[in-house]
Amino acid sequence: MIEVDITKRIKTYRGWEDLRVKTQFEMGKITRITGPSGIGKTTLLKIIAGLITPEVGTIKFNGDTWFDGEKKFSKKIQDRKVGFVFQDYALFPNMTAEAHLAYGSNDENYINELLHLGEMENFRQHLPHQLSGGQQQRLAILRALSTKPVLLLMDESFSALDKELKVKLMEKLHDLFLVQGTTVLVVTHHDEVFYSSSALFSLEN
């Protein structure tokens, strides 16, 4: 179980407010995180990843403390074994698609498996600027999966894909998550994202 009980001061569309989250996310499951734009969904993912530090509270991952505000403890980002698919992709401009995956894994068979999953085999030697927006988005997902993270955080990770490709990719990803036992938190404004196989957590005003 991921236990989140935090408060973070953030700037929303209404001005500065406290993001207050107290919830639990089930291990080995997919949870969609929804809510109005600017409410703090991306911030919540970054807090769980360790990229942003809350003012107060605690975060526990399967009993392991990741953050304790009272003890001023925050587990190192690299020790959380989290994969993050950023909304802006955050790809390395001088690295090919294949090199992005090799950065996270030295298993050539697994790299080929990921390229096949994302239908990116023919683009393995392409740099990000040579890829379309949808291809860059798929590469960002595959890169996050290359380390076989225990927790995958996805921020609007299917927005650049057409409906047919989106459905096909989500089916393949769901199967991979089951095999690897991955816990997934996905921020989305679209109801169809992992709809039938996911739980729902809504950040409210």
| CATH code that applies to domain 2-202 | 3.40.50.300
Which residues lie below 8 Å from residue 131, measured CB to CB, with a gap of 6+? 97, 123, 139
Q: Write out pLDDT tens, residues 110-159.
A: 999 999 999 999 999 999 999 999 999 999 999 999 999 999 999 998 88
Going by C-alpha positions, the residue among 114, 84, 90 that lies closest to residue 180 is 114
Whole-model pTM above 0.85?
yes
Q: Which ranges in 13-132 belong to alpha helices (H)?
A: 41-49, 97-102, 108-117
Categorize the per-residue pLDDT at 195 as very low, low, confident or very high, splitting at 50, 70 and 90.
Answer: low
> Residue 205 above 90 pLDDT?
no
Burial of 139-171, coded b for 16+ CB within 10 Å and e otherwise, reads: bbbbbbbbebbbbbbbbbbbebbeeeebeebbe
Going by C-alpha positions, the residue among 147, 194, 203, 185 that lies closest to residue 49 is 185
Categorize the per-residue pLDDT at 167 as very low, low, confident or very high, splitting at 50, 70 and 90.
Answer: confident
> Residue 1 above 80 pLDDT?
yes
- Average pLDDT of every residue of the chain: 91
**CB 198, CB 26: distance < 8 Å:** no
Q: Which ranges in the chain belong to alpha helices (H)?
A: 41-49, 97-102, 108-117, 133-145, 163-180
Show me where the domains of the chain are located. 2-202
Of 3-7, 37-41, 96-100, 178-182, which range is least confident?
A: 37-41
- What is the number of alpha carbons within 13 Å of residue 135 lying toward its C-beta? 19
**CB 47, CB 54: distance < 8 Å:** yes
Categorize the per-residue pLDDT at 196 as very low, low, confident or very high, splitting at 50, 70 and 90.
Answer: low
Going by C-alpha positions, the residue among 174, 161, 120 that lies closest to residue 142 is 120
**CB 161, CB 5: distance < 8 Å:** no
Amino acid at 45: L
The DSSP call for residue 76 is -
Q: Write out pLDDT tens, residues 34-89.
A: 888 888 999 999 999 999 999 999 999 999 999 999 999 999 999 999 999 998 88
